[in-house]
Structure 1
Amino acid sequence: MMKKITVFTPTFNRAYCLGQLYDSLIQQTNPNFIWMIIDDGSSDSTQELVQSWMDENKIEIRYIYQENQGMHGAHNTAYQNIETEFNVCIDSDDFMPTNAIELILSHESELNNEHLAGLIGLDAYKNGNIIGTTIPETIKESTVNDLYYKYDVKGDKKVVLKTKVVQQFPLYPVYKGEKLVPLGTLYLLIDQQYKWLCTNDVLCVVEYLADGSSNTILKQYKVSPRGFGYFRMVKMKYSGSVVEKIKSAIHLVSSAIFAKDFSLITKSPNIVLVVLSLPLGMLLNVYIRYKTRAK
């Protein structure tokens, strides 16, 4: 029988921490899931480790190896290969509460509504503290964008997607030599056609490691300028927040300078706003270069 949900995990040289996620998955109160591991070009012992877990046969595991494409490239591969009704990404340095799959699938009947793309739940730290804020109890459905900019919800949240919905949208663009396109780009595009069911269930326990993207964001702006430029253009076009449009225009200028590709500016959905943002964008670029200089 086909499982209901795929938990997919992009990983790159994270054999040292994958074990806590595996331990949380084999303890799930509802085993109705597949664990799909997208190995994004690891050179450590990830493959051997995963094989040992597959040999244990405690949960269904699917392992896919690819040449390194970055986080968004691993998401692309997952979305192209997932066959279950739902999917959720749990990063290699995170893990799931033991009842997370049960909590997700408890919303299955509500998620049958065609206008819903999936479910938004909470992330928490290991000590149990919620990351950011909870979702107001009065908000049963929302877009991701509205949660942050209309209802003032803070912090990372965990999204569970309907596979048939996510497969309607274009894959993340992959730029040669770059490793990151912000994942929120896809959610903003989905927001234009769908809403999300909201819950204050904790679906993921998060640990921000020193080598994770959250802790290296300024460097990412510098080394993945086209990826971030694409993200800024999508935000300028679709974000309902004027402040976010202005911030995106400033960042787009900086990204264009890093990429040495000023067509990013001419292709923007609001050229006038970007031109007005040139001075601040140049200042931001100088600031990022200063903060990421070799010490």
Structure 2
Amino acid sequence: MITVLTPTFNRAYILPKAYASLRKQTNYNFEWIIVDDGSTDGTEKLVSEWLSEDKFHISYYKKENGGKHRAVNYGVQKALGEYVLILDSDDTLTEDAIEFLERHCSEVASDEYAGLAGLREYTGKQGVIGGQKNDDSYIDATNIDRVKMKLQGDKAEAYKTSIMKKYSFPEFEGEKFLAEGASWNRIAIDGYKIRWYNHVIYQCEYLEDGLTRNKTDDVLMNNFKGYTYNTVLDIRTKSFPYNILSIGMYSRLAKKKGYSKKNIERKLKISSARYEQGQLMVLLHGITKRVKNGKK
């Protein structure tokens, strides 16, 4: 029923935590696919010791380093489950995660749904991400409508495998980073809903060597085609003022790359007035941040 998909790169030091959480599941109706994105730290030797696991099936694939989004695309093509849950290599699942997802999959079987999701919590005692109460209630909404529905923070989505194959991540030559909105927002634009459950199934830490902490200006500059692609989607899908702020943030880096105002407007498919609004929004955003930080 479920494919747990873990893209990994040089995470042999922590991958056993993810493995241990899968061994503790109350339901073993899942497979675990590990896509090794060119690790050089002994990940292959580590995983080889797990392949005889008798509680659930493990498939291990090693490929040339190309970034998480390519590893996910690769793994989805190998998936045998009806749903794919991405488990990052430094994270874990709660003991009832698979059981919970399988119990509710039938509720989102119709074509209007792309899948279902649970809550994430910080590892330890820091609480639920996004502030939702862990009460098992749910909201049906597209990924675009999350802010309006007060579904803040990262969630743990299990997308239908057929949907993930249809909306695979774009791959830009020479680039190894792409924000996940490149697929999730396209799915939402086409009207597919997610059933967002207020039930914790996923635990995470956001380590120093993770993608979340390292989405710096340099990363975006070095993966600018993908950044451009996602910014166009952000302008279309984010609510005000975040859609306008996206224009200003993008323009700031585009200018560093030598892009003119006209080039930026053409790439983002926006008017001159929208461009100017973006510059103003970035300025206001900067002032707000300085005030919050107690600076003049």
Deviation at 1:171, TM superposition (A): 2.9
2: CA distance between counterparts of 1:112 and 1:278? 41
Maintained 8 Å contact 2:265/2:272: no
- Partner SS for 1:49: helix
- Partner SS for 2:33: strand
Note the residue ranges of structure 1 that are not aligned, 5 or more in a row.
285-295
Shift of the 276–160 alpha-carbon distance from structure 1 to 2, 3 Å rule, reads: same
Question: What is the one-letter code of the residue matched to 1:71?
Answer: K
Could you state the TM-score of these two structures normalised by the residue count of structure 2?
0.86
Higher mean C-alpha deviation, range 161-170 or range 128-137: 128-137
Higher mean C-alpha deviation, range 262-271 or range 194-203: 262-271
Match of 2:214 in 1: 216
Spell out the pairing of 1:130-279 with structure 2 (5 A cutoff): 130-134=128-132, 140-148=139-147, 150-176=148-174, 178-192=175-189, 193-219=191-217, 220-239=219-238, 241-260=239-258, 263=263, 265-273=265-273, 275-276=275-276, 279=279
Out of 46, 71, 74, the position equivalent to 1:49 is 46
Match of 2:100 in 1: 103
- Partner SS for 2:65: coil
Matched, 1:93 2:124: no
Maintained 8 Å contact 1:252/1:281: no
Q: Number of matched residues?
A: 279
Deviation at 1:75, TM superposition (A): 1.5
1: CA distance between counterparts of 2:170 and 2:214? 20
The CA deviation string for residues 146-183 of structure 1, in whole angstroms up to 9 with x for no partner, is 112x123321111110111222224323341x321100
**Percent identical residues:** 33
Shift of the 49–280 alpha-carbon distance from structure 1 to 2, 3 Å rule, reads: farther
Match of 1:287 in 2: none
Note the residue ranges of structure 2 that are not aligned, 5 or more in a row.
285-296
2: CA distance between counterparts of 1:278 and 1:154? 24
Could you state the TM-score of these two structures normalised by the residue count of structure 1?
0.86
Shift of the 271–63 alpha-carbon distance from structure 1 to 2, 3 Å rule, reads: farther
Shift of the 212–280 alpha-carbon distance from structure 1 to 2, 3 Å rule, reads: farther
Shift of the 278–164 alpha-carbon distance from structure 1 to 2, 3 Å rule, reads: closer
